[in-house]
Structure 1
Amino acid sequence: MAKPNKKGPVQTVMILCTQCKSPLFKYRKGGKGALVKCFRERIVEDYTQKTCHCPGCDREFARETLIRGAPAYKIIGGKAIMK
């Protein structure tokens, strides 16, 4: 299978926790669809101290996984939003 493009899209979005609105990532997202997964290589800024846990309320918002051979975070439905 094809790996995601390293350079990827130029547009960046902020990913926030839905419960406490703390910033989680600044991410280079491609396309107009919903936020389902975040490839680690596309994360511009990471605001989390513990992997996949919100720094504000310590709630788990994603799970680590491999997608098309690349490390990624699979977002749990309704736990993170993008702005």
Structure 2
Amino acid sequence: MAKPNKKGPTKTVDIFCSACKAPLFKYRKGGKGALVKCFIERITQDHTHTECVCPGCERPFARPTIIRGTPAYKMIGGKVTFK
């Protein structure tokens, strides 16, 4: 399968924890669908201290995985929101 585009989209979205509204990432997202996965190379700002754990409420919001040969975070449904 094809790898994701390294440069990626120019539009950025802010990703927040849905429970405590703490900022998690600033991410270059492509398309207009739901946030299912975040490729690590497209994260521009990371506000988390521990991988895939919210810094505010200490809840896990994603799982680290490999998608199409590239490291990514697979989001757990309902744990994050984005603007």
Q: Same fold (TM over 0.5)?
A: yes
Corresponding residue for residue 75 of structure 2: 75
Local SS of the residue matching 2:41 = helix
State the distance in 2 between where 1:14 and 1:82 align. 5
**Deviation >6 Å, runs of 4+:** none
Alpha-carbon deviations, 1:26-78, whole Å to 9, x = none?
00000000000000000000000000000000000000000000000000000
Gaps of 5+ in 1: none
How high is the sequence identity, in percent, across the aligned residues?
71
Number of residue pairs matched by the alignment: 83
Deviation at 1:20, TM superposition (A): 0.2
Aligned CA RMSD, in angstroms, stands at 0.3
**Alignment TM-score, normalising by the size of structure 2:** 0.99
Gaps of 5+ in 2: none
Letter in 2 for 1:18: S
